[in-house]
Structure 1
């Protein structure tokens, strides 16, 4: 479906566009550069909460209808990011834009309905197009900023593009057959939202206030209690937001765990390279001192290799087997993260490490959705795809909170001005070593899964 491919491209464009602009956002709203990581973290949290609900509602009311709702929300959030008069409004816009992540599971469900014979291959194409959009957004956003020089105007460009898709989706995308007997688990959605917000807020407060402070403990405890209540409600719900027994019977546990772990690196490592590349080596002792367009080129190369990995995933999984492809790809990403942390890097070498990580992550992202859509039933395709994407966005949102906390806690400053503080090099090492360990764990989970299935590549 060309319209779905085009929509995923512009979804990626909007997500990648803001990455090279983080430094400009810091200057425009007079906030520390490390604090801009919260723009991405808030967006990921919003996605984690909204995607499962929108996906289930797609199964209940129709996938096209909920795709239109998602596009409207994403466009509205993008407009608020562009026109917001203060940093709080930018964060609010990022939260409203969160349903942009629902485009993929709803598109996966539409493919399952209308192109079941080729859904597995088509999903890989759409994922590749999404990552290509991120690459294009990363480079075009930086060049647009250097050419136009007005942050608000530059940020309006992807907002206008998303807005144009509202009537296109309504007119071109075919309807699916909604399951009118399916109920919506509103209580489960509310509990999941409270759980994620509480846990993320508690984690964000811990580095500043201490793990045992009330401002850390209270939201953490509330979040954990809500999560436990959510799991109990899901077991009793007629149509749960997350059907855990069904996930197990469909052998979806391992794809969900691997997707969660790899998303920690993919989403969590969006802002650190930008902060590192824009840092002045004369002032901070590290970095490359690049401008917005230079950062855009490097990030675009990284995103392009992510796209390459996604496009190659189908062929690699057939040649090597899914398990070997997953293990090798995860280990490649881990090695790249360790190189970023410990190997002295020029701009060229740093780009090589990012590219290697991108290829590894891209292969994983191309393999996993096919496994998920292949094992799901048509009646619950969007719900299952939504759970997979939710696992990814939860991993990304937690990683975003971790990165934002580390880059605002471990800082250096040349003149004592709080707003001139920048992350220390130790902050980047902490982040990249953690992400390397997470990728190694994902490789282990992939290998153990194959062992449990008696060597069958799942």
Structure 2
């Protein structure tokens, strides 16, 4: 071939192998705590609806730190930022294990949200390592699918391990020490298993942009939190939300003037980029905001409240595990299906599956089989989107913006999840009886998750038909 482009069998087995362990632990963290939601609530002496505020705080921290860490990854090195973020997560997990009160638990739980930057940094590492491959977008999707599959496998292990540990140990801190130990091992794996291959780039962190977007996020999510505290009739929550949205105006103007912006709005408004980021935000509503409600619904006693599945923490674990298996399958299948059909078509189909899955739960939620069927359909689409969105953003971004672009998919996803957690917390608390949330609140959760997924599928229709696909190989013409 006259194109002079190198071909390799893989992105790099050593790199992918190390990142597989990192994402396995990331999934373990996400799967481990969910079945223990009610046990943690009882231990901290709060009700089920209050657990959503733990998740909302973590998602807010994630939304605040991911843009900065992704940008620093592009500037200073993705491996370096991956390592230091792992140190922070390890400290947070040990803090969670020994937190004596709800406020201290909330602080460490929120700090743990730094792990959401792992996947964007890893995809950026993979994309840069695949430089020179003719099928670079496909190679990135394949490697990303493998590490996302490891993430889902870790979530399965975490869900099953939580149930087993809850039955094995009498003290909650002993149960929570398990993810803390694993997150400590991640630090060692990144330090010795991920090579530093980075050329220092000129540029600075956009402090003004970071401050403006942080203020906006704090005001909007803080306003949503105030709705539950002071009620929807108070003017203060809505004032905070409006002011937070208005802050985005000077933020946008600043980013367009900045030589090295935190979020390059010119790249963001490209037809191959903005639907992906909008989909990530809408997808965050279900994949991040609906997991705690799923666990608490499954553990609600139907004999006492008239709805729920009446399961214990150990019985919820297999349900969560089956849901995550469907995510794993979706992540692995996406890369292969996108070779037969266009990546754009696969993204649209994945978003539609999420909408169908949560829509099933509205009329059918009376038995374990019904709930499991809806969640597995949603899981297939969710797994594909988790793998596809950062890879699509990397393919659509300039070479020196891969970290920011992949990080932005996590930021927008986290923002969607943070808003959803606040809204779902309000909905579940309305009409709550005792420690159980309300059935109308669960209906709200499922309808919102279904609706946002279908809206995402519609927005993806605006993506150019051949976006994210491999370039056509150069064919040398022989006279």
Aligned: 1:437 with 2:451 = yes
Find runs of 4+ consecutive structure 1 residues off by over 6 angstroms.
Answer: none
Q: Indicate the residue corresponding to 1:110 in structure 2.
A: 125
Structure with larger Rg: 2
Taking a change above 3 Å as real, the CA distance of residues 456 and 119 of structure 1, as seen in their structure-2 partners, is: closer
Deviation at 1:161, TM superposition (A): 0.9
Indicate yes or no: 2:200 matched with 1:179: yes
Residue of 440, 447, 472 corresponding to 1:426? 440
Q: Within 1, Cα distance between the matches of 2:165 and 2:361?
A: 28
More displaced 10-residue stretch of structure 1: 181-190 or 208-217: 208-217
**8 Å contact 1:35–1:407 — kept in the other structure?**
no
- Identify the match of residue 75 of structure 1 among 70, 77, 90: 90
- The structure carrying a bigger helix percent of its residues is 1
Give the CA deviation at 1:114: 2.0
**1:57 aligned onto 2:80:** no
Cα pair distance change 1:363/1:55, threshold 3 Å: same
In structure 1, the residue matched to 2:246 is 225
Q: Corresponding residue for 1:24?
A: 39
Q: 1:99 aligns with which of 102, 114, 117?
A: 114
Name stretches of at least 5 consecutive residues in structure 2 with no aligned partner.
Answer: 1-14, 134-138, 469-479
Tell me the TM-score normalised to structure 1 length. Answer: 0.93
* Structure 2 residue 289 is the aligned partner of structure 1 residue 268: yes
Within the alignment, does 1:195 sit opposite 2:216 as a pair?
yes
User: d(CA) in 2 for partners of 1:236 and 1:389?
Assistant: 25
Aligned length: 447
Matched residue, 2:152: 131
Contact 2:424 2:444 in 1 (8 A): no
- Counterpart-to-counterpart distance in 2, 1:375 and 1:328: 20
In structure 2, which of residues 377, 399, 405 is the aligned counterpart of residue 378 of structure 1?
Answer: 399
Tell which deviates more after alignment, 299-308 or 222-231.
Answer: 222-231
Counterparts of 1:283 and 1:445, CA distance in 2:
42
Rounded Cα–Cα distance in structure 1 between residues aligned with 2:297 and 2:233: 31
Q: How far is the alpha carbon of 1:283 from its aligned partner? A: 0.7
RMSD of aligned residue pairs (Cα, Å): 1.8
User: Aligned to 1:398, which of 419, 425, 446?
Assistant: 419
SS in 1 for 2:311: coil
Unaligned runs of 5+ in 1: 414-419
The answer for the alignment partner of 1:311 in structure 2 is 332
Distance 1:247 1:176, change over 3 A: farther
* Contact 1:121-1:370 within 8 A present in 2 as well: no
The aligned residue for residue 358 of structure 2 is 337
What is the TM-score when the length of structure 2 is the normalising length?
Answer: 0.89
CA deviation profile, 1:290-348 (whole Å, cap 9, x unmatched): 11111111011111111110110112222232233223322222222122121243112
Secondary structure of the corresponding residue to residue 195 of structure 2:
coil
CA displacement 1:80-102 (0-9 Å, x = unmatched): 11111111111111211111011
1:209 positional shift: 2.4
Instruction: Tell whether 2:141 aligns with 1:120.
Output: yes
Contact 2:351 2:453 survives alignment (8 Å): yes
